[in-house]
Amino acid sequence: MTDKIIKKTAKKNKTNTTNSKKSKIDLSVVIPVYNERESVKHLYSNLNQALSKLRLKYEVILIDDGSTDGTYDELVKIHKANNAYKIIRFRRNFGQTSAMSAGFDHSNGDIIITLDADLQNDPGDIPAILDKLDEGYDIVSGWRRDRRDRAVTRRFPSIVANKLISKLTGVELHDYGCTLKAYRKEVIDNIDLYGEMHRYIPAVASRIGVKIAEIPVTHHSRKFGKAKYGLSRTIRVVLDIITIKFLLSYSQRPIQIFGLMGLFSGTAGFIIMVYLIIMRIFFDRGLSDRPLFILSIFMIFIGVQLITMGLLAEINMRIYHEAQGKPTYVIKDMLQ
């Protein structure tokens, strides 16, 4: 494809209309690629081996996320050798979520498989994932039960994060971070990705009512290049968890979270102030040298601000849905 920035500007219904005009494709494989020049050659070979065993019409969408090591040249060679491999090239590094979003927008398959380009995911697991999907699931997530990563910087933080995400979202998965997943197209069409939300798609999708399964998959140690993530990602993961919890529980009713915090802060501040005033009137205790008095005033103001923020969020939520004509529900089937 031409060298241009891939932006998610078209609406989902426009994308679907475009897709419907194209020939039927059963499977789309979406792979973000960033500085994996050595890996993509072997990835192509491994994918061909796995996909050739499937009796499905497929496409492979490789998204070059601003690579600077010659990865794009290798991708062009792959495309010339096999036109089932489509290439999207970003002008700069936009991140894995943007790369996946571009792949989803340009995919035509009824089923979408995602995996990493670093050879740590094994394409040989694709048939097993598809078999599980055929059991009636909407999403099948890979579980790297036997991970080939460093215990301190990768595995231990991952275990903690996965348990926390599962607890807060109610979607029990051992391995949210495994890129190897399968999705039905209609699920992806109802999800918008921002920030670094690609790894939390199962949790985000749970709010529209989907069946999710998890199966163990093979995990290989990295052979080429270097890892793009380290221990520093932990802070971003924590912030993402907060975002996911808010989206799942309060995106349709933000006043209930901001209002609750505001009422708690305002009520606590009011009680403290009443107590101090009683102490001043009946026990002749001064207020000017009481930091608690300043704190009570501060808490009341914070409470008012939080409630106001919740009301503004409610207004914004309604503008979002009404301006775009987006319903607050998703229909799975309709008989007419």
Read off the pLDDT band of 103 (50, 70, 90). Answer: very high
**What would the pLDDT profile of 209-246 be if each residue is shown by its tens digit?**
899 999 999 998 877 766 665 555 667 777 777 777 77
Q: Is a pLDDT exceeding 90 seen at residue 181? A: yes
Mean pLDDT throughout 123-134?
Answer: 95
Long-range contacts, 271-278 (Cβ 8 Å, 24+): 272/296, 272/299, 273/297, 273/300
**What would the pLDDT profile of 7-47 be if each residue is shown by its tens digit?**
433 444 444 444 444 568 999 999 999 999 999 999 999 99
CA atoms within 13 A on the CB side of 279: 13
Q: State which fold the 12-250 domain adopts.
A: Spore Coat Polysaccharide Biosynthesis Protein SpsA; Chain A (3.90.550)
pTM: 0.74
Long-range contacts, 286-295 (Cβ 8 Å, 24+): 295/269
E strand intervals along 180-322: 181-184, 212-216
As to burial, measured by CB atoms within 10 angstroms (0-12 exposed, 13-18 middle, 19+ buried), residue 175 is buried
Residue 305 has a pLDDT of 93
Q: Percentage of the chain surpassing pLDDT 90?
A: 44
Per the CB < 8 A criterion, the answer to whether 245 and 204 are in contact is no
- In the three-class reduction of DSSP (H, G, I as helix; E, B as strand; rest coil), residue 198 is classed as helix
Other residues' Cβ atoms within 10 Å of the Cβ of residue 144: 22
Residue 34 has a pLDDT of 93
Q: What is the mean pLDDT of the chain?
A: 83
Mean pLDDT throughout 276-289?
Answer: 81
Residue 21 has a pLDDT of 44
Domain ranges for the chain, please list them.
12-250, 255-322
